[in-house]
Amino acid sequence: MTTSSRPGLTVLMANPRGFCAGVDRAIQIVERALEKYGAPVYVRHEIVHNRFVVDQLRGKGAVFVDELDEIPDPERPVIFSAHGVPKAVPEDAEARRMFYIDATCPLVSKVHREAEQHFAEGREILLIGHAGHPEVIGTMGQLPPGAVQLVETVEDARRIVVKNPDNLSFVTQTTLSIDDTAGIIAVLRERFPAIAVPRKEDICYATTNRQEAVKGVAARCDLVLVLGAPNSSNSNRLVEVALTGGAAAARLVQRAAEIDWSWFEGVTTLGLSAGASAPEVLVEEVIDACRERFEVTVETVSDVRENVVFKLPRVLAS
């Protein structure tokens, strides 16, 4: 029996959570480039969707830009983000005689190659994803305008008009909700039985594992907190998965400082996860903030181990 007047709080740690292999590789690319070439190293867009990570890299000498024409010295390295870029971006870099390093996640690159193969074989291509997301922009930008149609919802799948149902294919964004995407695919396959499907699931292993981990804790939780950025697709999907999985409430926060402690009224069990771009230090920060207010018991749920590692680009490997 505790002598503390603080209420008890059980924290269920969804596992796995946080950094995936693609994010870890992208961050290493920026860090290795800074070590090898010195500062500044330019990065087109956020290397990953996490303000804390971006700020840390900025503090080491990375300079983040929206477009290549913002880079004053074309001889300095420029790195493309983990989400991938349209083909026009490296073409522009080459025209400007820039030295660029591509940090696109290999699993995103796999989707790019799939789309190119479908196009080369004359198929019409549907992309399941979210309009405006950098990964979707990058994937659609691998092919000529109009070659890819975007499908965002089951309703889109029901309404979409294609030229030749017998020569059709689809690919998906890697960070989608597994369940939502399954519903969209089911409609497409019902409408277009001949549709060519990916040889291997496009939704990446890390997205799948993190969603399954959240499902494993959600029904036991009065509240689930997901550490992640508002523009992070996989983090937003974790919040949705928590709610559909039975959590009484679920919130996305970037840091412990963003927590509204009124959310904890009546909460005795908290679920905690982190999107694939959120470092573990932010999870620990939330636990420390909870310990200031509650008698905390931490329980790790699931024992899934991820051992995926992606090689660095050859120019940085040595």
Q: Is 135 a catalytic residue?
A: yes
Given the residues 135, 201, 212, 285, the one annotated as active site: 135
Same structural domain, 147 and 189: yes
pLDDT for the residue numbered 317: 83
Evaluate whether 207 touches 142 at the Cβ level (below 8 Å).
Answer: no
Q: How far apart are CA 225 and CA 261, in angstroms?
A: 12
Report residue 305's pLDDT band, with 50, 70 and 90 as the boundaries. confident
Q: Phi and psi (nearest 5°) for 36?
A: -80, -40
Q: Is 158 within 8 Å of 191 (Cβ atoms)?
A: yes
Ramachandran class of 170: left when φ > 0, alpha when ψ lies in -120 to 50, beta otherwise: beta
Q: Please give the share of the chain, as a percent, with pLDDT higher than 90.
A: 95
* Residues 216, 297 within the same domain: yes
Structural domain of 282: 8-19+205-301
The H-or-E segment that residue 151 falls in is: strand 148-151
Query: What pLDDT, on the 0 to 100 scale, is given for residue 199?
Result: 77
pLDDT tens sequence across 197-250: 987 789 999 999 999 999 999 999 999 999 999 999 999 999 999 999 999 999
The predicted pLDDT at position 3 comes to 52
Q: What does the DSSP 8-state code read for residue 224?
A: E
Q: Looking at the structure, do residues 259 and 185 belong to the same domain, yes or no?
A: no
Shared domain check, 216 and 181: no
* Confidence band, pLDDT 50/70/90 cuts, at residue 1: very low
Say which residue the tokens 């913002």 belong to: 70
Whether residue 78 sits in one domain with residue 34: yes
Please tell me whether residues 112 and 192 are part of one structural domain: yes
Structurally, how many domains does the chain consist of?
3
List pLDDT tens digits, range 67-121. Answer: 999 999 999 999 999 999 999 999 999 999 999 999 999 999 999 999 999 999 9
| Residue 116: CATH number of its domain | 3.40.1010.20
214 within a domain of the structure (yes/no): yes
Tokens representing 12?
Answer: 């269920």
Task: Specify whether 221 is located in the same domain as 196.
Answer: no
C-alpha count within 13 angstroms, C-beta hemisphere, residue 11: 21
Neighbour order of strands in the sheet with 250-253: 250-253, 223-227, 269-274, 8-14, 295-301
Do 87 and 157 belong to one domain?
A: no
Is residue 254 one of the residues assigned to a domain?
yes
| Cα separation values, 98 from 72, 77, 78, 272, Å | 11, 7, 7, 42
Answer yes or no: is pLDDT of 253 > 70.
yes
Residues 180 and 209 both lie in one domain: no
Same domain flag for 124 and 57: no
Is position 310 within any domain? no
Residues paired with residue 271 on neighbouring β-strands, in sequence order: 12, 224
Please state, in angstroms and rounded to a whole number, the distance separating the CA atoms of residues 205 and 315.
27
Residue 244 lies in a domain: yes
CA distance readout (Å), 208 to 13, 17, 63, 179, 245 = 17, 11, 32, 10, 14
Mark which of 105, 133, 166 sits at the end of a domain. Answer: 105
Residue 169 placed within a domain: yes
Could you read off the pLDDT of 215-228 as tens digits, one per residue? 999 999 999 999 99
The answer to whether 21 touches 310, Cβ cutoff 8 Å, is: yes
Q: Is residue 26 part of a domain?
A: yes
Beta carbons of 202 and 171 less than 8 angstroms apart: yes
Residue 86 belongs to domain with CATH number: 3.40.50.11270
Q: Does one domain contain both 113 and 198?
A: yes
- Is 307 within a domain? no
Q: How many other C-beta atoms are found inside a 10 Å radius of the C-beta of residue 17?
A: 26
pTM exceeds 0.85, yes or no: yes
Task: Give the residue-averaged pLDDT of 25-47.
Answer: 98
**If we measure between CA atoms, which residue out of 162, 160, 161, 143 comes closest to residue 151?**
160
One domain, residues 185 and 164: yes
Mean pLDDT of 277-300: 98
Is 314 inside a domain boundary?
A: no
* Consecutive H or E run containing 124: strand 124-128
